[in-house]
């Protein structure tokens, strides 16, 4: 993403409207997670407010993607509680969690490569049976993602990386979620599609959808986030508004680098 684009997104300062966290939509409390005998999370606490964009930052092997798996029911924590919209998620299957209102845009998109774009898009509504509502949302996705509309009869596996990310986002929204979890949404994308993905997240968020993003590129994630957490070896070591994190010298040194950090924090 070029410097002018970074300044444009930053000037909107989404964190200024969320200096105090809104009503919690998703909460993880005292989560301890293990892979066999290896502990990944140590008393992990996360809170995502309704209507926010929240970024979970951290390096490799910090536990970011496992946190996403815990939320989606793909990996069960040994201890701790997970609640969504005031109700517990512990013990629910992934389809049950999707029905509660949480959708996922996984790392590397995970599309059905041999199926058409249209078929992949409609797979996002697999938990629904309201045909009229599905048809309405389908048309809305084609309007929101014009590139997807242009590729409806094409096999998903033949799309570019950016086009696949557009489709993965549209597929997630077909479940009518309250919360969308995105794992490394900008990874491997060209600068043009990075811009598009970030703009779409902001557009959809303004329509009332909450976003929780796992992202290694802090300089991108904090441009559109309201708040963020920094995870290190399974523990939250920093949290605050995006503006606060951008101004924190530890974030600059670890993730941003001098010139870009100085610009984005100004």
Segment 141-197, tens digit of pLDDT: 999 999 999 999 999 999 988 899 999 999 999 999 999 999 988 888 888 888 888
Same domain, 56 and 86: yes
Main-chain dihedrals φ then ψ at residue 88, nearest 5 degrees = -70, 145
For 65-100, b/e burial (b = at least 16 CB within 10 A) is bbbbbbbbbebebeebebbbbeeebeebeeeebbeb
For the chain, where are the E strands, in sequence order?
Answer: 24-35, 38-49, 53-57, 79-84, 87-88, 102-105, 179-183, 210-215, 227-232, 235-241
- Predicted local distance difference test score (pLDDT) of residue 193: 86
Look over the chain and give the mean of its residue pLDDT values, rounded to a whole number.
86
| Same-domain check for residues 91 and 27 | yes
As for how many domains the chain has, the answer is: 2
Query: Residue 35: which CATH number?
Result: 3.40.50.300
pLDDT in tens, 4-16: 333 333 334 555 4
Range of the domain at 141: 110-176
- pLDDT for 114-146, tens place per residue? 899 999 999 999 888 899 999 999 999 999 999
In this structure, the strands spanning 210-215 and 227-232 are: unpaired
Residues 186 and 97 in one domain: yes
Element spanning 95, H or E: helix 94-100
Same domain, 79 and 198: yes
Tens digits of per-residue pLDDT, 206-254? 999 999 999 878 888 898 999 999 999 999 999 999 999 988 888 777 7
Which residues, in sequence order, are CB contacts of 86 under 8 Å at separation 6+? Answer: none
Looking at residue 7, its pLDDT comes to 35
pLDDT at site 13: 52
Within 13 A of 164's CA, how many CA atoms are on the CB side? 23
- In degrees, rounded to 5, the angle at the alpha carbon of residue 1 between the alpha carbons of residues 111 and 18 is 85
* Confidence bin at 66 (pLDDT 50/70/90): very high
Task: Assess whether pLDDT exceeds 90 at residue 90.
Answer: yes
Q: pTM of the prediction?
A: 0.85
- Same domain, residue pair 94 and 126: no
Give the per-residue pLDDT at 21. 55
Q: Which residue has the tokens 């409806």?
A: 152
If one compares 257 and 159, the residue with the highest pLDDT of the two is 159
**252, two tokens:** 């600059």
Asked if residue 28 belongs to a domain, the reply is yes
Quick one: average pLDDT of 195-202? 91
Asked if the structure places residue 88 within a domain, the reply is: yes
Do 3 and 88 share a domain, yes or no? Answer: yes
The domain boundary, picked from 176, 196, 228, lies at 176
3-state secondary structure of 234: coil
pLDDT at 185: 85
pLDDT of residue 109: 64
Provide, rounded to the nearest whole percent, the portion of the chain with pLDDT above 70.
Answer: 86
pLDDT, tens only, 103-116 = 999 876 679 888 99
């Amino acid at each position: 993403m070029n410097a002018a684009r970074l300044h444009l997104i930053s000037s909107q300062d989404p964190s200024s409207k969320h200096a105090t966290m809104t009503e919690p939509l998703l909460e993880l409390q005292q989560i301890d997670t293990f892979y066999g005998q290896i502990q990944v999370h140590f008393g992990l606490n996360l809170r995502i407010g309704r209507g926010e964009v929240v970024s979970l930052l951290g390096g490799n092997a910090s536990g970011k993607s496992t946190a996403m798996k815990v939320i989606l029911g793909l990996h069960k924590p040994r201890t701790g509680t997970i609640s969504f919209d005031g109700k517990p998620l512990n013990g629910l299957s992934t389809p049950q969690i999707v029905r509660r209102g949480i959708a996922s845009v996984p790392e590397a998109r995970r599309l059905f490569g041999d199926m058409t774009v249209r078929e992949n898009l409609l797979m996002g509504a697999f938990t629904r049976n309201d045909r009229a509502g599905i048809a309405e949302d389908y048309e809305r996705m084609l309007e929101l993602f014009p590139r997807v509309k242009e590729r409806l009869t094409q096999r998903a596996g033949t799309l570019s990386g950016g086009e696949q990310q557009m489709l993965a986002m549209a597929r997630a929204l077909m479940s009518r979620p309250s919360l969308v979890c995105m794992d490394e949404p900008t990874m491997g994308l060209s600068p043009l599609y990075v811009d598009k993905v970030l703009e779409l997240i902001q557009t959809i968020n303004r329509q009332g959808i909450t976003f929780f993003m796992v992202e290694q590129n802090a300089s991108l994630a904090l441009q559109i986030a309201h708040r963020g957490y920094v995870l290190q070896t399974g523990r939250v070591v920093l949290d605050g508004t995006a503006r606060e994190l951008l101004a924190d010298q530890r974030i600059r040194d670890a993730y941003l680098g001098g010139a870009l950090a100085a610009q984005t924090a100004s």
